[in-house]
Amino acid sequence: MITVYSLPSQVQPEVLKDSAAVVIDVLRATTVITCAVHSGIKEFIPVLDITEALRLKSLFPEGSVILGGERSGLPIDGFDFGNSPQDYTPQRVAGKTLIITTTNGTAAIHAAKEARKVILAAFVNADAAVKKLANEDRITIICSGTCGLETEEDMLLAGCIVDRLTSGIYPSQSKYSGLNETAERVRRLWKNSNTNGVTELTALLRRSTGGKNLLRIGLAADIAAAAQIDTMETVAEFRLSR
């Protein structure tokens, strides 16, 4: 069974329990965390607010933590990095603990925490995320949206994942015959987009809600970075540790 929620507020705890959850915030939280893990961070801790991020940092040895995230799309005062995937290079982040807080994405990760397992998906690791899910019987995909509203960029990736899981690429796909209505809807959205490659995906993301917000604040490069489909094998997994 694959259940897609277009917003974290729709998540039903009884569906989440016993399932593998996939959290999506294409622009940009799950893309950024995937890039940071790919660049060799030791761990990531998503937190809901700035005060909590600063408090947690104070518990770690000096120099071992980087603070990242955004408010209104922009870097947070006193933080090391904003929410741009290209900031998180191996030279800057390898071996560090990333404490991150963003407007919607980090809250969506917390909304998934009752699941048996929580992974993060972005276009950059879409194929790797699908491979991780190929043996799961119950999958719950949670889109972050923006401030309580559905966003096309997250729905498109959810559709891409559902489509790949059900298209017969993987031998175990027959067990995914059960899709909720939103899963059917996002699969159609993805198929109808006829997206084939980075250039088309970049154009599509630029027209999405999150894309328009980023263009408004001059962060077009972040959209292009998020559109690098299937370029990373890294799949970040969220574990409650503190």
Are the C-beta atoms of 70 and 76 separated by less than 8 Å? yes
| CB-nearer residue toward ligand MLT: 70 or 87 | 70
Name residue 181's amino acid: E
Give the residue from 185, 170, 79 showing the smallest Cα distance to 128: 170
Size of the chain in residues: 242
CA angle 206, 220, 162 (to 5 degrees): 45
Are the C-beta atoms of 191 and 162 separated by less than 8 Å? no
Q: How far is the CB of 25 from ligand MLT (least distance, A)?
A: 5
| CB-nearer residue toward ligand MLT: 2 or 156 | 156
| CB-nearer residue toward ligand MLT: 145 or 159 | 145
What residues line the site for ligand MLT (CB under 6 A)?
25, 27-29, 70, 73, 83, 102-105, 144
**Phi first, then psi: what are they for 134, rounded to 5°?**
-60, -25
Q: How far is the CB of 217 from ligand MLT (least distance, A)?
A: 8
| CB-nearer residue toward ligand MLT: 19 or 104 | 104
| Distance of alpha carbon 119 from the chain centroid | 8
Task: Quickly tell me which residue has 């191996």 as its tokens.
Answer: 90
Q: How far is the CB of 191 from ligand MLT (least distance, A)?
A: 26
Q: How far is the CB of 214 from ligand MLT (least distance, A)?
A: 7
| CB-nearer residue toward ligand MLT: 146 or 166 | 146
| Distance of alpha carbon 87 from the chain centroid | 17
| CB-nearer residue toward ligand MLT: 29 or 162 | 29
Q: How far is the CB of 70 from ligand MLT (least distance, A)?
A: 5
Are the C-beta atoms of 147 and 103 separated by less than 8 Å? yes
Q: How far is the CB of 66 from ligand MLT (least distance, A)?
A: 16
Strand partners, 74: 71
